[in-house]
Chains A and B, each alone.
Chain A
Amino acid sequence: MESITTDDILGKTALDGHARVLGVVVKMHIDTEAKTILGITIDQGLTKPDLFVGLAHVKKFAKNAVFLHGLTFNALKGKNVISEDGERIGTVESVVHKNEQVVSITVNKKVGTFKSENTHYPASKIKEIGETIIVRK
C-alpha cells in the first residue's frame, strides 16, 4: 500500500475527466470525528471562486496531479447548446445532478430583446458534452 502526505497533494494541478485544468489544490478537508478525508478545495484562479470537490469525485492522487472523475457541474453552466442538426438552442442556465451524474439541464434562449425562455432537457436528451453541448430533438 502506497501512502502520500499533504505535501504530495497540496499545490498540485487538478484535472477533471475531460483533462481540463481546473486549478491548484489548496486545501484538504478532514472529518475530525471519523478521521477520514472529506474532499479537497481547488483554487480556480482570480476570476472564479474556490471549488470544493468531495472525495468520491477524486479518481486518483497521482505524483504530479490530482485526477477527478467526469466533469464538474459548474463547468457546464454557460456552455452553448445546439441540436443534433446544428440549430442553436441557447446556453446552460442550471444543472441538476444526483450521485455525480447529470440528471437534467435547463437551457436559456433569448427570444427578442428583453425576453428569454427556459427549456428543460433530461440526461437522456443530451447527446454529447464537449466545448458545446449537443442535444437530441
Chain B
Amino acid sequence: MEKQKFTIADQAIKLDDRAKMYLTKKVYTLSGNKLGTVKDILFANGKITSLLIKGRNENIIDFKHIKPEINDRIMLSIDPISLLLGKTVFDKEGKKLGKVKSINQIDNKNEFTEMTVKRNIFTRSQIIKAAEIETLKENIILNTEY
C-alpha cells in the first residue's frame, strides 16, 4: 500500500514539473501572431492533451500543435482559425463588409467551411465561404465582389 502511495505522489510531482514549463507562458502562432498566455493544462491518463490559452478569445489547443522546444515563449505549428474572429473583411473592390462574428469549423480540425460577417447591429449577417478568401493576414480580402 505504501509503495503504491509513493508511485502516485511521484507521478504527481513529474506532472507538476511539466505543467510549470507551460503555465503563464506566452503563446505565438505559426505566423508570429500572439495568441495569448497559457492559463490551464488539460490531462488525460497522465499525459498532457491540450492547453487552455487565453488572449482576445479563449482557445483550447491540442498538444500535438505545440512545438517541442520551449523557451521564453511557446510556438505553435498552426494558425488557429479562432484568430479569424474580429478581423475586418473587405471584398475584391475594397468594400468593407464587416467583421467576422463566427466560424463554421469542420469537426475538431483547424479548418472551416464558411464564416459569418456582420457590419453592425442594424445590418444583416453575410455568409462567406472559405474558398472566397484571397488574403488572410491582419484582415481579410475576398476574391469576389459583394
Contact = CB atoms under 8 A, between A and B. Distances in A.
Interface of A: 12-13, 15, 17-21, 62-67, 82-88, 128-134
Interface string B108-146: 000000000000000000000000000111111100000
Contacts, number: 93
A88 B96 CA distance: 36
B94 A86 contact: no
A132 B94 contact: no
Given A62-B92, A131-B32, A85 B139 contact: no
Interface residues of B, number: 30
A128 B135 contact: no
A130 B33 CA distance: 6
Interface string B35-58: 000000000000000000000000
B28 to A, nearest CB: 6
B110 to A, nearest CB: 17
B83 to A, nearest CB: 10
A86 B69 contact: yes
Nearest to A18: B137
